Amino acid sequence: MKILQLKDLVRTDSPIYYRRFYSGTVSLDLMGKELDRRIDFTVETMPAGNKEISITALEEVDYPKLPLMQEIKGFIAGEDARGALPV
């Protein structure tokens, strides 16, 4: 399993400045098959400065959910660190 990219990302405005809401599409490579699934997630900056990522919606995928969510969260964290998420 590999995360290929996040695309069609849209940031939803929020009155809470330390919480960013996004929706878009995640492209996955699962056992040689490329899949696109809708995803909604939040990036929250905690008081100590670390970021917490929570996935609120992901279309069903025929793959164990826990490893998939961990991989997606790691990919999102990397994209956020490089500044690739919409502002």
Per-residue model confidence as pLDDT tens digits over 8-44? 999 999 999 999 999 999 999 998 999 999 999 999 9
Rounded CA-CA distance 59/3 in Å is 15
Residue 52 falls inside a structural domain: yes
pLDDT value for 87 = 85
Model confidence pLDDT, tens digit, residues 54-74: 999 999 998 999 999 999 999
Residue 10 falls inside a structural domain: yes
Residue 56 falls inside a structural domain: yes
Q: Are strands 19-30 and 2-12 parallel, antiparallel or unpaired?
A: antiparallel
Burial of 76 (0-12, 13-18, 19+ CB in 10 A): buried
Residue 26 falls inside a structural domain: yes
Residue 24 falls inside a structural domain: yes
Instruction: Provide the domain count of the chain.
Output: 1
Residue 42 falls inside a structural domain: yes
Q: Strands of 2-12's sheet, edge to edge? A: 2-12, 19-30, 33-45, 51-58
Range of the domain at 46: 2-79
Closest CA to 29 of 86, 66, 72: 72
More confident residue, 87 or 24: 24
Q: What is the mean pLDDT of residues 41-49?
A: 96
Residue 84 falls inside a structural domain: no
Residue 85 falls inside a structural domain: no
